[in-house]
Chain A
Amino acid sequence: MTKKIDVHHVTRVEGHGNIVVNIDGGVVKDCRFDVIETPRFFEAMLRGRPYLEASHITSRICGICSTGHTTASLRASETALGVELTEQTILLRKLVFHGEILDSHLLHVYMLVAPDFLGVGSVIPLATTHRDVVLRALRMKKLAGDICVVVAGRHTHPIAMTVGGFTHFPTAAELMDLREQLIACRADVDATVDLCSTLPWPKFERDTEYVSLTKPDEYAFIDGEIKTSDGYRMPIENYKDVTNEYLVQHSSAKWTRHKRESLMVGALARFNNNYDQLHPRAKAAAEKLGIKPKVTNPYLNTAAQVVEVVHCVEDAILIIDQLLTKGIKFEKPTPVDLGKIGSNGCDGVGACEVPRGILIHQYWIGQDGILTGANCIIPTNQNIANLEADMKALVPQIMEKPVDAMRLDLEMLVRAYDPCISCSVHVMKVEKKS
């Protein structure tokens, strides 16, 4: 048996990655996920820039996770500079973060994954065959974007978020309007769960180390500790103990591993590690979708995203209720005292759970408030080794299928990870072979 699969590039993911599988004489000779994006140089761009610009620059790493990058960036600067946040700032950041998680998950579930199950090549033919489904997706995405506009000033690349707080505040009327829309959105959320509970998720199991942030009192999206399903816990400052970035020849994105050959971050990891803290309606959705921790089928990452959609809608309503009860106040951002920085400068780590998993920013800041160094570790980086390990486990199980069916199974596996390949690409050192 000889089979060759070369998907160049996988569609309906962010960025460029290739699936390469060669089977010769019934033996798998190659099974790779090549990442061929060019490096982005964002960390180098940050050097020499004032800390107040860092969140606006790094927001541009991603047009989908711009709030996530902004949040990780602000938390890195704030930790380095010893800036404390008010309760209102923390609530507003959680609210806008939910908006972005919703926007990204809905894009993935409806626009990128659903076409595979509904037998079409993209969302455009879906608009003709399943018009109501597409309109529902757009309606929900619009609300997610509106949350970002109301809280952070615009849909993508937030403008009102700054070190120590916000520069603009939503009015009570705007929050009440969002609340009404979120309540009305429950019907669309239920319809999303119903639709996804009927999808024939491919059968495949491979246990791995699931890594996420965790907090004692809530389903963690911003700050917290690092938790792994193998029982490890560590403060986010020790992130390098879990990421251990390394290079492989066929990827311009760095790979990561902890104690096993690979690890998985993202909605499924969060679901597995922090299930108990999901909103009751989200737990009910999980039951309807037929998932309960520990889920070891990576295709169900998309189902875990649907659970998080339910959680974020419900939690956004609760956050708005808290903000309205306390009353929105105009607050100046917490001031920064650069005089406290020692002659060696300072550094800080910021971490949050963006749609695809843990995002880490670490900054080094000098006495003049200028960044002297930066490190950004993106979730897709952390997942690529795991994705390829899944491919290597899956291919022998499906190699009797026709090539087209194998290719679809592999493409769907890649899409299940919702990879943001462009973001994952890092600068690497290139040395001439001796």
Chain B
Amino acid sequence: MGDDGAGIEAVRLLAESTLPENVFVQEAGTPGWGLVEWIKGWPSVVIVDAINMGLKPGEWRRLDTSEVRLIATQGDLSLHDSGLASGLALAQALDLLPDRITFYGIEPESIDHGMVLSPSVNANLPRLVESLRTEFAM
């Protein structure tokens, strides 16, 4: 789905460098409720994805949970299972949320059928990943 693959591509880019031992990178796919099992027990979780933020295509932001409000809805694009917001809401209800959740979001240009990223996302994603590497190194 075009730029919806930004997170997967970010994982691939991250895998090209050595990361600190206490960092675990996972391509999460669409885990739905299963997200709980993936994030529980970690003090800090970073989620990278294409996010509709009303920015220019390819612009990206680092957001922490004080800056964003996740709305659990029947996602227009998530045809199956539950979405990210529902997975996090379930983790919260079970008191299994990590202390810190950070989002790295990149504004998609196109999330239509397609197997590659758009030029704007492709051009800017390496800078987002570089920022992630810096954060992990700290």
Shortest C-beta distance, A289 to chain B (Å), equals 24
B94 at the interface (CB under 8 A from A): yes
Which A3-44 residues have C-beta < 8 A from chain B?
Answer: 9, 11, 14-15, 41
Q: In whole angstroms, how far apart are the Cα atoms of A145 and B31 in the complex?
A: 10
Chain B residues lying within 8 Å of A93, measured Cβ to Cβ, are: none
A64 at the interface (CB under 8 A from B): yes
B69 at the interface (CB under 8 A from A): no
Chain B residues lying within 8 Å of A156, measured Cβ to Cβ, are: 29-31
B103 at the interface (CB under 8 A from A): no
Whether A142 pairs with B37 at a CB distance below 8 angstroms is yes
Q: In whole angstroms, how far apart are the Cα atoms of A420 and B93 in the complex?
A: 27
Interface of A is mostly: helix
Shortest C-beta distance, B81 to chain A (Å), equals 6
Tally of chain B residues near chain A (CB < 8 A): 21
Chain A residues lying within 8 Å of B93, measured Cβ to Cβ, are: 124-125, 127-128
Whether A141 pairs with B34 at a CB distance below 8 angstroms is yes
Chain A residues lying within 8 Å of B82, measured Cβ to Cβ, are: 111
Residue of B nearest to A126 (CB): B93
Which of A131-139, A212-220, A273-281, A310-318 makes up part of the contact surface?
Answer: A131-139
Most chain A CB within 10 A, of B29, B74, B80, is at B80
Which A137-156 residues have C-beta < 8 A from chain B?
Answer: 137-139, 141-142, 145, 154-156
Chain B residues lying within 8 Å of A131, measured Cβ to Cβ, are: 94
Whether B89 pairs with A139 at a CB distance below 8 angstroms is no
Q: In whole angstroms, how far apart are the Cα atoms of A420 and B81 in the complex?
A: 10
Which B50-82 residues have C-beta < 8 A from chain A?
Answer: 74, 78-82
Residue of B nearest to A65 (CB): B80
A157 at the interface (CB under 8 A from B): yes
Residue of B nearest to A135 (CB): B94
Chain A residues lying within 8 Å of B36, measured Cβ to Cβ, are: 138
Write the B32-46 contact mask toward A (1 if CB under 8 angstroms, else 0).
111011000000000
Q: In whole angstroms, how far apart are the Cα atoms of A155 and B113 in the complex?
A: 22
Whether A45 pairs with B113 at a CB distance below 8 angstroms is yes
Residue of B nearest to A420 (CB): B80
- The residues of B with any CB-CB pair to A shorter than 8 Å are 27, 29-34, 36-37, 74, 78-82, 86, 89-90, 93-94, 113
Q: Would you list the 9 A-B pairs with minimal beta carbon distance, nearest first?
A: A127-B93, A63-B80, A422-B79, A142-B37, A156-B29, A63-B30, A127-B94, A14-B80, A124-B93
